[in-house]
Amino acid sequence: MKFRQTYLLTAAGLLLVLQLLTGCDKLKDDRNSITDPFLKITLLELISADPQLSTFREYLGKTGYDIVISSSKNYTVFAPVNSALASLDPAIVNDAAKLKLFVGNHIALKQYRTADIKSETRIEMLNGKFNNMLNTSVEDAAITTANKYASNGLLHVINKSLPALANCWEFINSSAEAPAKQKAFILSLFRKVFDTSNAVITGINPLTGDPIYQPGTDSVFANLFLNRVHDVQKEEKQFTVFMLTDAAWDMENTKFRPYYVTNTADSNALVTGWHVVKDFAVDTLYKPGSLPDTIVSKFGTKLPIEKAFIVKTVKTSNGMVYIMSKMNVLPASKLKTITIQTEFYSATSHDRRSNTFFRDRYSPVTLLDFKDILVYSHGVSLFNIRYDVKEVPSIKYKAYWVAVNDFQTATFQQKLGIGTATSTILGYVNVDANNFNEVYLGEFTMSTYSPVLNIYLTGANSTTAAVNPLVCDYIKLVPSL
């Protein structure tokens, strides 16, 4: 027996279908009405037919891009008019590689209609660089004739050429305009850095479960500025980079050198230079017209931008470089308070995980929830918890903690060990019952910069449970400037 399937459409559903069909027909009609004459010709033929694009057509032929834009792929070509190419540097025109880089900066491997680009959009070009497009403009060029269809893409005619600029890293690395001292310092920062992307795993650590890598395969040779600050060679992103004239570079290094004292002059210069330069790039594009008075770096340092000290502005393919004759970064901005959340520790003197508690608490002082650590009834004299604090400047610090004794009525004592668990730099401090306030512990001076400073939360020299607990929410080290 055969059954006939019946489909019922509501009036609203029928109307929606009709609207969709009508919309599709209209889109087809619009495209056909505009582009029908050109659907059988390529972008190259479309460009060749326009006398005002003859110079660009010539360059397409010289670089081989004429064959590229005759293929069946979809491209967008931003073709400069002849007058826009009249002053093109002969050093580009007469150098095959430079000319190919230049012409490739005008061809994108996708279709970009002006009506679709309603906010500034980074579009990738065939030379690997990116241009910013917004409505009827691309970079500094205006699109004078837009959306001319061909069988394999779109043609936009523009009134200016699109130079293939160096990116921020290429400027630092290669440009004679880059200030010499900061440039030399950045280029001295090539090191082997930990990178497991291509590492060979030879086993698993039975204690931690972490992979064990074949020696030599778990690191790459890279520049610390690119690796730890921002990878300013990436074309798809945009950056703002600050470089100081040699005199300004010397001034900043002289100012911060006392805070990074080491055992030798060379290492002092290296550590100081690193802490100066690491703040001089941000992953946000600030054009000259939108450059604020203060920019905050990746590391939280405030950079005061006094426009009177900008001696040169360099546009790159992925941002801006500002060369400054002065950048007066305040020590109070760079040398920050160190806050240690004590539940995140590095090690303990004894394995007392069964006696360790991570507690959720509420503070009647701050009116906020917090989490602290409590080690109780562990039975160890001078039991301690170690914290590894990285990159501690040579400066005087005032120490504080919040340690909430709400688990017993008896007062007990604990201390901070600076460098060692039993250090006497700071003494034992009472932990009174139900005190939620921050407690001042004393001050200490770092005579030299420490790449890793060990801080210990150390219990009493007793095995009695009520005498030797450890409890803490956070430890705070405030620089005295």
8 pLDDT more than 60: no
pLDDT of res. 72: 83
pLDDT at residue 211 in the model = 74
Question: With 80 as the cut, is the pLDDT of residue 34 above it?
Answer: no
Q: How confident is the model at residue 205 (pLDDT cuts 50, 70, 90)?
A: confident
* Structure confidence by residue, pLDDT tens digits, 388-418: 999 999 999 999 999 999 999 999 999 999 9
DSSP string, 337-375: PEEEETTS-SEESS--GGGEEEEEEE-TTT--EEEEEEE
Is the pLDDT at 4 greater than 70, yes or no? no
The average pLDDT across 222-243 equals 96
Is 85's pLDDT higher than 70? yes
Can you read off the two tokens belonging to residue 270? 């290296």
Question: What pLDDT does residue 89 have?
Answer: 96
**H helix intervals, 88-188:** 90-93, 96-104, 168-174, 180-187
The gap from C-alpha 470 to its chain's centroid, in whole angstroms, comes to 38
**Phi, psi (deg, nearest 5) at residue 292:** -80, 175
- Domains of the chain (ranges, CATH numbers): 24-158 (2.30.180.10), 168-330 (2.30.180), 338-479 (2.60.120.260)
pLDDT of residue 173: 95
Share of the chain above pLDDT 70, in %: 87
Q: Return the half-sphere exposure (C-beta side, CA atoms, 13 A cut-off) of residue 111.
A: 16
- 163 by DSSP, 3-state: which? coil
What mean pLDDT do residues 41-45 have? 95
Q: Does residue 64 register a pLDDT over 60?
A: yes
Residue type, 249: W
Q: Tell me, what's the pLDDT at 196?
A: 58
**For the purposes of burial, counting CB atoms within 10 Å of the CB of 473, is it exposed (0-12), middle (13-18) or buried (19 or more)?**
buried
The residues, ordered by sequence, that sit 6+ positions from 417 with a Cβ below 8 Å of its Cβ are 384, 423, 425, 426, 454, 455, 456, 457, 458
Does 191 score more than 80 pLDDT? no
How would you class 401 by CB atoms within 10 Å of its CB: exposed for 0-12, middle for 13-18, buried for 19 or more? buried
Q: In 69-179, which ranges are continuous DSSP H helix? A: 82-85, 90-93, 96-104, 168-174
Per-residue model confidence as pLDDT tens digits over 423-478: 999 999 999 999 999 999 999 999 999 999 999 999 999 999 999 999 999 999 99
Report d(CA 448, CA 260) in Å as an integer: 7
Phi/psi zone of residue 117: left (φ > 0), alpha (ψ -120 to 50 degrees), beta?
beta
Q: Using one digit for the tens of pLDDT, what is the confidence trace for 302-348?
A: 999 999 999 999 999 999 999 999 999 999 999 999 999 999 999 99
pLDDT at 228 over 50: yes
- In whole angstroms, how far apart are CA 119 and each of 91, 115, 129, 143, 240? 35, 10, 19, 16, 20
